[in-house]
Amino acid sequence: MRSPISRRALAVAGALCALSLGVAACGGDDSGGGGGSSSNADSGGKADRVAVLLPDTKSSVRWETADRPLLKAAFDRAGVPVTISNAQGDKSTQQQQAEQAITNGAKVLLLVNLDSGSGAAIEANAKSQGVKVIDYDRLTLKGQADYYVSFDNVAVGKLQGQGLVDCLNDKKVSNPKIAELNGSPTDNNATLFKQGYDSVLDPLYKSGKATKVADQSVPDWDNQKALTIFEQMLQKENNQIDGVLAANDGLGNAAISAIKQRKLDQIPVTGQDATAEGIQNVLAGDQCMTVYKAIKAEADAASKLAIALAKGEQPPAGLVNGKSDDTARQVSSVLLKPQAITKDNIDVVIKDGFLKKEDICSGQFAQFCTELGL
């Protein structure tokens, strides 16, 4: 992780970049591991600049493998200058990136916050300088975003909860012992996912049809911490866990790793994000389902909204379709529909162009793809 840079140094670097390159878009975080920035050529004044602020690569690989290229392509097609930066999990870095983007002329910030506190500070500063903000994928609680673009995250959790129940029923497990491996406590999305899957699982716990044996959040969605946490869950329960509600594919893979290390039989494990690793785990039977969120649709909706704001226009008709409660107000929102993925419909992510066949059907997983006719 790069060390913090002073505001003055950032400002000087921005000025030198503008003088030497003569373009509107100069670099943001250019550290290794996919944390660099990308920029478009000046659009000839057709629209003001947009800055995309991504959070990390730890919570999910999607930010660099999917969101970055999709957003860049969308702004490229529209001829709108954009910078894309990744804070690599550092809140002060993200704040500096936001301030530098505004200094460089950005009129719209597309923000994926690291937590609501730091996100709200970025949004307050942006508003004070007349810069519009779109909360992207994660809602900033008590923030000042003009819009929010995401999936119906409670619906994501409901799909996970029902998916786990269906998998346990398929295995004919009576009164299953379930462990819940939740996302980061500082991510409002994790709260919404849990709200969704608890709405499915809590009635089973209360009726005695299932037993919750563990329920723990994973700080910063850290997969290594998730592995340790789940190992401790197995140890405490003498390996007697029948199903795992894991809030995303990374946490799910951590649970699967712990299960394999103990040489235990496969048990139903959920996930989310339809990552290549998650889909491979579904193929192998180690994970019973994941949730596919069509990130291209999310990126397209966010870019359309950002382009309209940058041009001083109203959002395209029908794009904004709901409201989201940030605990202080209702934020105008674009809410998209998630989809459950099991072995039966894995081809969806390939047909959609989200993953390529070679991304998932390589090595030991090729045989599973052949069996499914992929």
DSSP symbols for 206-254: HHTSSEEEEEEE-GGG-HHHHHHHHHHHHHHTTT---EEEESSHHHHHH
Residue 353 pLDDT class (50, 70, 90 cuts): confident
> In this structure, are residues 197 and 261 in contact, taking their beta carbons and an 8 Å threshold?
no
Hunting for tokens 């809410």 — which residue is that? 335
Q: What is the pLDDT of residue 18?
A: 38
Counting other chains too, the contacts that 199-203 makes at CB distance below 8 Å and 24 or more residues apart are 199/154, 199/157, 199/158, 199/161, 200/157, 200/158, 200/161, 200/162, 200/165, 201/161, 201/164, 201/165, 201/245
Q: What is the pLDDT of residue 48?
A: 63
Residue 47 pLDDT class (50, 70, 90 cuts): low
Residue 24 pLDDT class (50, 70, 90 cuts): very low
How far, in Å, CA of 205 to CA of 194, rounded? 15
Residue 42 has pLDDT above 70, yes or no: no
How many C-beta atoms lie closer than 10 Å to residue 260's C-beta?
11
Hunting for tokens 């994000």 — which residue is that? 273
Residue 165 has pLDDT above 60, yes or no: yes
> In this structure, are residues 177 and 241 in contact, taking their beta carbons and an 8 Å threshold?
yes
> In this structure, are residues 54 and 60 in contact, taking their beta carbons and an 8 Å threshold?
no
CA distances from 258 to 28, 230, 266, 353 (A): 38, 7, 11, 32
For residue 134, give the 3-state DSSP assignment: strand
- Return the biggest CA–CA distance within the chain: 69
pLDDT 10s digits, 243-277: 999 999 999 999 999 999 999 999 999 999 999 99
Residue 19 has pLDDT above 60, yes or no: no
How far, in Å, CA of 27 to CA of 19, rounded? 13
Look up residue 187 and give its DSSP letter.
-
b/e code 9-47 from CB counts within 10 Å (16+ = b): ebeeebeebeeeeeebbbbbbebeebbbbbbbeebeeeb
pLDDT 10s digits, 89-117: 999 999 999 999 999 999 999 999 999 99
Q: What is the pLDDT of residue 373?
A: 87
Q: What share of the chain is helix, strand, coil (3-state, %, to 5)?
A: 45, 15, 35
Q: What is the pLDDT of residue 374?
A: 86
pLDDT 10s digits, 109-152: 999 999 999 999 999 999 999 999 999 999 999 999 999 999 99
pLDDT 10s digits, 280-331: 999 999 999 999 999 999 999 999 999 999 999 999 999 999 999 999 999 9
The structural domains of the chain, ordered by start, are 7-145+294-336 (3.40.50.2300), 153-293+342-372 (3.40.50.2300)
How far, in Å, CA of 101 to CA of 347, rounded? 39
How many C-beta atoms lie closer than 10 Å to residue 228's C-beta?
13
Q: Looking at residues 351-361, what average pLDDT do you find?
A: 91
Dihedral class, residue 81 (left if φ above 0, else alpha if ψ from -120 to 50, else beta): beta
Q: What is the pLDDT of residue 36?
A: 43
How far, in Å, CA of 216 to CA of 234, rounded? 13
- What is the distance between the terminal CA atoms of the chain, rounded to a whole angstrom? 39
pLDDT 10s digits, 188-237: 899 999 999 999 999 999 999 999 999 999 999 999 999 999 999 999 99
- Write down the mean pLDDT value for the chain: 88
Residue 180 phi, psi (nearest 5): -105, 120
Look up residue 173 and give its DSSP letter.
-
Residue 16 pLDDT class (50, 70, 90 cuts): very low
> In this structure, are residues 251 and 278 in contact, taking their beta carbons and an 8 Å threshold?
no
Q: What is the pLDDT of residue 37?
A: 41
pLDDT above 90 covers a percentage of the chain that reads 82
Q: What is the pLDDT of residue 58?
A: 85
